[in-house]
């Protein structure tokens, strides 16, 4: 298990997260919300799913690049976290 955890912000763009995954050679990361509290996790599978959905719904546009990562990952409501 790693000691230096790489995380992303809920407001990070799709491209920022893809770049972080590639540069850090990781396949998932915790998503931090306000006050740096963990609100979920985003994985390569989430990114691929979002890419697939974007190309299915609008094949001539690249709308997913500016999407905040909060819309891609499995996020939890703050009250459900211990």
What is the tens place of the pLDDT at every residue in 18-61?
A: 999 999 999 999 999 989 999 999 999 988 888 777 666 555 54
Taking the domains of the chain in order of start, what are their residue ranges?
8-57+67-73
CATH code at 8-57+67-73:
3.10.580.10
DSSP 10-60: TT-BHHHHHHHHHHHT-SEEEEE-GGG-EEEEEEHHHHHHHHHHHHHH-TT
Tokens of 16: 């920022």
> So what's the pLDDT on residue 42?
92
Q: What is the pTM of this model?
A: 0.69
Higher-confidence residue of 79 and 31: namely: 31
> So what's the pLDDT on residue 50?
81
> So what's the pLDDT on residue 49?
85
Is 65 a residue whose pLDDT tops 60? no
């Amino acid at each position: 298990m790693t000691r230096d955890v790489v995380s992303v912000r809920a407001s990070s763009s799709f491209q920022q997260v893809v770049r972080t995954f590639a540069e850090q050679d990781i396949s998932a990361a915790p998503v931090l919300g306000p006050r740096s509290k963990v609100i979920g996790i985003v994985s390569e599978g989430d990114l691929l799913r979002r890419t697939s959905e974007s190309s299915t719904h609008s094949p001539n546009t690249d709308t997913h690049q500016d999407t905040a990562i909060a819309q891609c990952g499995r996020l939890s409501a703050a009250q459900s976290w211990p």
